[in-house]
Each structure stands twice: as C-alpha cells, then as structure tokens.
Chains A and B, each alone.
Chain A
Amino acid sequence: MPVPILKQSQYLIATIQSALTDEDLLALQTALVEKVGKYRSRGVIVDVTALDVLDSFASRTLRDIAHIIRLRGAETVIVGVQPEVAFAMVQLGITLESVSTALDLEEGLAYLDKKLQHARAED
C-alpha cells in the first residue's frame, strides 16, 4: 500500500497507515526525494504512529531517507514512534542516531518551525 504524501506549506508529511513491505518503503523513499525538489520543501515529517513494528530494513530506510533529504537541502523528522517500538528498536541496536525524532506530528512541526527559524536567523 503506497504511503500518501501531503504538502503542507513548506513541509511534506508522509503518514504511514499500515505495515509496509520493503518495496513500499523504497517507493516512499523515491517519492519523498522527488517531491522535496518539486515543491521546494524545507522539511519532511514521516509519521510512524500506526506502526507497531519497525524492523532493521525499515529503520535503515528511514535513516537513508533522512540523509538523502538532508543532501537535498531539507530536514527530516520521524514522529510517533510507540514506546514498545522504541524499546524493541534499541534492544536490537537500532537507534536512528543521526535522525531527528519527535513525539507526534504537532511536535514535529514545532521542531521544524524552530529549526528553520534558526536557519533563517543565521542567514
């Protein structure tokens, strides 16, 4: 099932609705990378609230997405990781170290707003 990607002012929001196959994940990656350029987005939010499992492939793909998006000049935030999922992930040694995270969509938006303000202040 493909993941819908919504454009919200200068951000893209991808809400994962159900468990994804590896192909779906890669499709999400491609779509996000394309749309960031197309809409000149400054931030991307990937919402994983609905997922009760995040395996190593999914985690790696999320990390790759974050890195690629950064190269495209935008920020990525993963939001909505469930407590059980977080615990299981660190036990497997998956920590998504270089990726920003936030509690939920609202927090993720607030984080991006703040981040972009900082960036603008520095300009």
Chain B
Amino acid sequence: MKSLLERDVERDVMRSIGVSTGEMLPDLVEHLREHRTELREEWARRITEAKVLTAMSDAEIFAEATSVYDNYVAALETGTFEALQTYSRNLSERIIPRGVETHEVVGIVLLLRDVLARSLFAKYQADFQLLNRILDAYEPAANRIANTVAVGFVQERERIIRQQQEAIRELSTPVLQVRERLLILPIIGVIDPQRARQLTEQLLHGIRANRARVVVIDITGVAAMDSHVANHLVQTVEASRLLGATVIVTGLSPEIAQTLVKIGVDLGKMNTVGDLQGGIEEAERLLGYKVVPTPEIPSQISGRHEDS
C-alpha cells in the first residue's frame, strides 16, 4: 500500500518524465515488485556464477542484493536518486575495507540491469511495441541507476584515498627540536616532488618558528634518490641558509652517495656527516654546546653518555 503523498510524488515524476514513457513506469515497477523474490535470487545466482565479490559470503551477497534491489526499484519508481546515492555511499563504506574492487561493483549493477531486462523481454515478448515502450522507460532510468551506484563507489574510494594521503603526509614530515636552536628532520620513505616541496616548506617555517640556527636532515630512511629529489635537497639546504640556518645532512647511504656523485650534484655546499649521532654532535659543536659526562652516574644507566 502506498500513501497518498507517495502517489502524488509519483504522479509528479511521471509527468516530468513524459507521458509516453511515464505511463509505462508503473507497469514496470509493478512487474519488478511482483517478481521480487525470483529476480533477486536469479541476480544473486548470476553474481556467484560470475565469481565477483569473492570477498563476501553467499549469504552476505544475498542480503546486500536484496537491499540493492529494493533501492533500485524505489529509484525507478520515484525517479529520485538521493536515497540510492546515500545507500551506495553507505554500501561503499562497508565493502571497500573488505577489498571489493570497482569493476566488481560496476559488474554486479550491470548484471542486475541485465537480469531485469531479460525478465522484461520474457514478459513482453508477445507484444513488440509494448516491449519497446517498456524499454524506453526502463533504459534511461536503469542507466542512471548504474551510473549513480558506480560514481558513488568511486567517489567514496577517492575520498578514502585522499584522506589516507593527507594522513601519511602529515605523519611523515616531523620537524623536531632537540636543543635550543637545533632542529632535526628525519626523512623516511620515498620522496616525490610534492613531498619534497612540502618538507622544505615545513622545515623553513620550523626554522622561523623555533629560531633554529642548525638543522640536521637525516636521510637514513630514504632508500633511493633521483636527480630531482637530490636537487630539491640542495635547494632546501640553500633556502635554509638564506634564513640563516646551517644544514647538516646525515645518513647518506653508499648508494645515494654514489648516485649524487654520478649525477653531478654539487656537494660542496652541503655539510654532510656520516650518521645522525655524528650530525647532532657536529651541530652541538657549531652551537657551542659541550657534552660532558657527569661523574656520578646512576648505576642503571651507566654506559650511556648523554648530557643532562
């Protein structure tokens, strides 16, 4: 049973779609409602057969298929897609973490489209004219539904990717103060031009904010470096110098050192020290710190010789 309001909405939509196709839509929806159970089962069977959605169990597929089917029919009936959009976004949120791929989602929506179209062929095969009119009503709506679901899925995926990129970016570039006027910037992982640029910006602002005089950039965690990144590193060193800070680069791996020499990066401007410890010691020397072991060392930390 439908409420009066729903009928009103339906009539409005029919009018907007146009009389010729509009008058066929109720028939279509009627048909889909009537054969709900078998069409749903047929669809779920086809999904299993096509071996998509392998990340989900048969029962789950059937449950999702049911709600997708109902949403699908509702979208056909009302001609509005907001509910379907919301649903497909929710669905995407649920299934993306389970490793469902875009082609699978598009595939199953197209399968449903196919299943329904076939049932229409079967029902109206006697009357070709009527079949044509039914298809006129069905096709545009079905296309739009497929489109909505696929776009919803892809958008959700992109949103997640963007979010993760943002998170990685924020996590990956800490500028840390270890002493008054001394910053360290440990770089770990792959440096792409965008990240290199961001590193430089953060470092320059860090220098300004902390009034740093010496910066130790540790690149122990960088596996490879091409000429772009190397140039960027040199630029970072030069830009820091323009702000009055001295940069010490530490942790150059043998491979990177060879690369830098091979591609002819001018290392004359770069102050390099073997490892981070050496870098910090050199920085302390530049800043006038002197690390002295205290005579009375508590027994549990004897062996370590850091200052205060």
> What is A's interface to B at a CB cutoff of 8 Å?
78-79, 81-87, 89-91, 95-97, 101-104, 107-108, 111
| B-side contacts of A78, CB under 8 Å | 242
The one of A85, A89, A103 that contacts B211, using a Cβ cutoff of 8 Å: A103
**CB–CB B243/A83 < 8 A:** yes
Q: How far, in whole Å, are A82 and B243 apart by their CA atoms in the complex? A: 7
Q: How far is the CA of A101 from the CA of B243 in the complex (A)?
A: 6
Known interface pairs A89-B242, A103-B212, A103-B243; 14 further A-B residue pairs with C-beta atoms within 8 A, sorted by A's residue number: A81-B242, A83-B208, A86-B204, A86-B239, A87-B200, A87-B201, A87-B235, A87-B239, A89-B239, A90-B239, A90-B242, A96-B242, A103-B245, A104-B244
B200 touches A101 (CB 8 A): no
CB-CB nearest in chain A for B205:
A83
Whether the Cβ atoms of A83 and B201 lie closer than 8 Å is yes
Q: Which residues of B contact A83 (CB under 8 A)?
A: 201, 204-205, 207-208, 239, 243
Please measure, in the bound complex, the distance between the C-alpha atom of A96 and the C-alpha atom of B240, giving whole angstroms. 12
| CB–CB A102/B244 < 8 A | yes
Interface residues of B toward A: which range?
20 to 34
A79 to B208, CA, bound (A): 12
A-B contact count (CB 8 A): 59
Query: By the criterion CB–CB under 8 Å, are A97 and B242 in contact?
Result: no
**Is B136 in the interface zone, CB < 8 Å from A?**
no
Q: Determine whether the beta carbon of B241 is less than 8 Å from that of A101.
A: yes
Residues of A within 8 A of B242 (CB): 78, 81, 85-86, 89-90, 95-96, 101
**Contacting residues of chain B (166-221) with chain A, CB-CB under 8 angstroms:** 200-201, 204-205, 207-208, 211-213
**Any A CB within 8 A of the CB of B238:** yes
- Give the docked Cα–Cα distance between A46 and B242 (Å): 13
CA distance A95 to B239 in the complex (A): 7
Q: How far is the CA of A13 from the CA of B200 in the complex (A)?
A: 30
Question: Which 7 interchain pairs have the tightest Cβ spacing?
Answer: A83-B204, A102-B244, A86-B239, A86-B242, A103-B244, A90-B235, A95-B238
Provide the residues of chain A in CB contact with B211, threshold 8 Å: 103-104, 107
Closest-CB distance, A59 to chain B (whole angstroms): 10
Residue from B236, B238, B244, B269 having most chain A Cβ neighbours under 10 A: B244
Q: How far is the CA of A121 from the CA of B67 in the complex (A)?
A: 86
Q: How far is the CB of A44 from chain B (nearest CB, A)?
A: 15
Chain B residues with Cβ below 8 Å from A107 are: 211, 213, 244
A102 to B208, CA, bound (A): 11
Show 10 residue pairs from A and B whose CB-CB distance is below 8 angstroms, ordered by the A residue.
Answer: A81-B244, A83-B204, A83-B239, A87-B235, A87-B239, A90-B235, A91-B235, A95-B269, A96-B242, A103-B244
Q: Of all chain B residues, which has the CB nearest A108?
A: B244
> B239, A103: Cβ atoms under 8 Å?
no
> Which residues in A have their C-beta under 8 angstroms from that of B205?
83
| Nearest opposing residue in chain B for A107, CB measure | B244
Judge whether B204 and A103 touch: CB under 8 Å.
no
Of A82, A84, A101, which is within 8 A of B244 by CB? A101
Interface contact B243-A81, CB-CB below 8 Å:
yes
